[in-house]
Amino acid sequence: MLANLTGWHALIVLAVVVLLFGATKLPALAKSVGESMKIFKNEIKTTPAPKPDEAGASSLAVSSTTAPADSVAQATPAEHNPTV
């Protein structure tokens, strides 16, 4: 898909970016994008991975709260029929 892009395409995209943002705002834009990427990478590195014990405990809690099918009260058709 990107094999058909040439240097001319890159120059056209660069010209459009300069026209949209202006040459004076481009350094500030590049700096803010770089700082955002740096913060994002640091957050990914510092986020602890979930422990297998925590994942297993949460799945057990979900499965233990579900009620068995025979304990669920069954409604009679007369209760759902508004004409009776």
On whether residue 73 sits in a domain, the answer given is: no
On whether residue 5 sits in a domain, the answer given is: no
pLDDT in tens, 20-72: 888 888 888 889 999 999 999 999 988 877 777 755 555 555 554 555 555 45
Higher local confidence (pLDDT), 2 or 60: 2
On whether residue 14 sits in a domain, the answer given is: no
Question: 59-74 burial by CB neighbour count: b if 16+ within 10 A, else e?
Answer: eeeeeeeeeeeeeeee
On whether residue 6 sits in a domain, the answer given is: no
Task: State yes or no: pLDDT of 75 exceeds 70.
Answer: no
On whether residue 12 sits in a domain, the answer given is: no
Domain count, the chain: 1
Q: Which domain holds residue 27?
A: 23-48
Can you tell me the distance from the alpha carbon of 69 to that of 74, in angstroms, rounded to the nearest whole number? 10
pTM: 0.39
On whether residue 28 sits in a domain, the answer given is: yes
On whether residue 36 sits in a domain, the answer given is: yes
